[in-house]
A and B are shown apart, each in its own frame.
Chain A
């Protein structure tokens, strides 16, 4: 596609519910990143994929967070047993190659846990 697509745009979850956030990167982009952005803050790194390999998951806040990219294209970020502190905007970004290339971000998914 022309850009990075994320769905849903908005998600309201009851505390304890599991959620799945989807990211469709730009076709052919090798690198895919997930970031978490709290209100009024810059994005914080969560995890990184190079094709289907998850090379870094050091930013995932807890073992309730899980990400996958099984075929090297679409990625899903799953949060189990959501807590109020999980409320944030989750951004996905893709890049054609390596670290010196600009990333294209999706519009994000705003998750609100009530």
Chain B
């Protein structure tokens, strides 16, 4: 059983549309991170959130950490083909030190 459940598994949208990826768990996290991974490369860190209710913005990307620190979402506004990739959420549960990853969401933005 995956500690972090991501949805949807696949997402294909047209350039200019918005999209949201969800990351849910029954566990409480001391920190949660979002990564983007392109084929043949390692995951690249996008953001780290540590406070319940926290919202962080990175250009067209908005990240939210749930109030109870059990879930998170990634919202992309006006998606571009360069946003295509595998988006991974990963968290460190309270009292632990290692990252546990979700299975990922494959996002394809068509021009």
A interface residue numbers (CB < 8 A to B): 4, 33, 35, 40-45, 48, 56, 91, 93, 98-108, 110
Query: Taking CB as reference atom, which chain A residue is nearest B97?
Result: A99
Knowing A100-B31, A100-B48, A102-B48 are in contact, say whether A45-B43 is a contact too (CB < 8 A).
Answer: no
CB distance from B106 to the nearest CB of A (A): 8
Residue B109 CB within 8 A of the other chain: no
The A contact surface, by secondary structure, is loop
Interface size in chain B (residues, C-beta < 8 A): 28
Q: Is the CB of A45 within 8 A of B104?
A: no
Q: Is the CB of B45 within 8 A of A99?
A: no
Q: Is the CB of A56 within 8 A of B102?
A: no
Encoded as 1 (CB less than 8 Å from any A CB) or 0, chain B from 86 to 111 comes to 00101010001111111110100000
CB distance from A36 to the nearest CB of B (A): 11
